[in-house]
Amino acid sequence: MGRRFYTSGQFARKASVTVRALRYYDQVGLLSPSRHSEAGYRLYSDDDLATLQQILALKFLGFSLEEIRACRGAGPRRLSEVFAQQKAMLREKRAHLATIIEAIDKAETLLREDPSAWESIVRIIEVMQVEKKNDWVDKYFTPEQRQKMDELSRTSYSEAARKKLATRSRRWTEEDQKRADEQWGWVNAEIKRLVAAGADPASPEAQSWAKVRTGLLREFSQGDPEIEGGLRNWWKNFQALPEDQRPVQVPIPNNEEVEFTQKAMRIYKQSAKEGG
């Protein structure tokens, strides 16, 4: 008996998602259709439905699309570790919500006793904000992960570079981290799309990608040669680790993607130099 295929509209209705969501999942490399019709329309199978259900389940559990991509490529042991980390993060969020509710209770009590007690309420909020700013990293990384990342940092960066990064990290907020995750998530997804599409490294879309990647790297290093060198060392040391010992899930580019990146970046830097 042959496999049954569904058009985008049929598949979207069957999976209770939008056609737009399917297009986006295809664009970022999470779920591509099994085949295309002669007219170029996407055709999905029941196997694709099982994949989509996994994606939706992980999304419901609070994982970002980049994390979902890493989870789907991980083995059972690593996936179990990722679930444990996610559970710890959610428990941390629950604890933080409990703290906020407690602060609101205190504020309500203060206002009942003294309607002009806004100064005390502001102090409560300030304390909450400081705690949130200092503790957000613990929601995303376990003590073991942070220890491993510290080890990578020590073996990758010079002492001077580590001091500069440490000073900067004290100003780094959760919002900064989310923004960086989204931007690098796009960079990682786009390189896979470009290579899969057989794009020319010199094409406008490849050079736009190279420009974004260059900007992100420059934002991190701020043009400091020591930090740039340390980042190269960090990536080399990270890739050398066995998969189950890597502290974070980061997509590892294949040989085609590495070659494409080198060519696109070389062309972009030469163009920037000539444009001067």
| Per-10-residue mean pLDDT, the chain, length 276 | 81 90 87 89 90 86 79 68 74 76 78 71 62 61 78 89 79 79 88 93 94 91 90 89 80 88 93 74
CA dist., res. 197 & res. 206, Å (int): 11
Global pTM exceeds 0.85: no
Cα–Cα distance for residue pair 204/223, rounded to 1 Å: 25
Residue-wise pLDDT for 89-126, tens only, equals: 777 778 777 777 877 787 778 777 776 667 666 766 66
Q: Which residues contact 138 (CB under 8 A, 6 or more apart)?
A: 92
Mind listing the pLDDT tens digit for each residue in 31-67? 889 999 888 889 999 989 988 888 888 888 877 877 7
Q: b/e string for 13-49 if b means 16 or more Cβ within 10 A?
A: eebeeeeeebeebbebbbbbbeeeeeeeebbbbeebe
- What is the CB-side half-sphere exposure of residue 262 using CA atoms within 13 A? 7
Place of tokens 């970046």: 265
203-213 burial code (b ≥16 CB/10 A, e <16): eeebbebbeeb
Residue 234 structure tokens: 């960090």
C-alpha 252/C-alpha 50 separation (Å) is 25
Sort strands 35-36 and 42-45 into parallel, antiparallel or unpaired. Answer: antiparallel
Contacts of residue 200, defined as CB under 8 A and 6 or more positions apart, other chains included, come to: 206
Please give the C-alpha separations between residue 140 and each of 21, 62, 220, in angstroms, as whole numbers.
Answer: 26, 12, 20
